Amino acid sequence: MLKVGFICTHNSCRSQIAEALGKHLANNVFESYSAGTEIKKQINQDAVRLIKQGYGIDMEQTQKPKLISEIPPIDIVITMGCNVNCPYLPCKYREDWGLSDPTGQSDEEFRKIIQTIEQKILELKNRITEKSIKVLG
C-alpha cells in the first residue's frame, strides 16, 4: 500500500489534521503519516478539539508530533504550504497544498482549513484509485 507523508515544519496542526483525516477517509487506499523538521510538544489544541467535534477522532490518542526521521520511507509527499521552509523528503511524487496556518485564528478559519484538507484527501484518494498519479513502476 502507498505511504503518504503530510509534511510541515512543526508537525503540530495542518499536517496532523491531514494524517487524521487520511487515516479516517482513505485508509483503504493509502497509509497516512505526518512529520516535520522541528516539532512542538503537542498537537495544536484547537485542531484536536475541532477534529474530535467534527469527526469523533481523538488525535492525542493516536498521533503525536514526529520528526521526518521517525516515519517510514514515503511514496507521496504532500507539503502543507510552508513555502520556502518546506522540509525535503525523498519520494516518487510530491505536491504542495498551499494551506495557510490557522493557528491562533477563529474556529471558523480552522474549520475552513479542515474542510479544505478533507476535500484534498478525498481528491488524492480518487486520483490514486484512478491511477492519475503514477507512483509505482
Nearest residue to 88 via CA among 74, 102, 103 = 74
From residue 14, give the alpha-carbon distance in Å to each of 11, 57, 69.
7, 15, 19
Interval 69-79: pLDDT, tens: 999 999 999 99
Tens-digit pLDDT profile for residues 29-60: 999 999 998 888 999 999 999 999 999 999 99
* Domain boundaries along the sequence of the chain: 2-129
Q: Are 2 and 73 in contact (CB under 8 A)?
A: no
CATH class label, 2-129: alpha beta
Residue 14: the pLDDT is 96
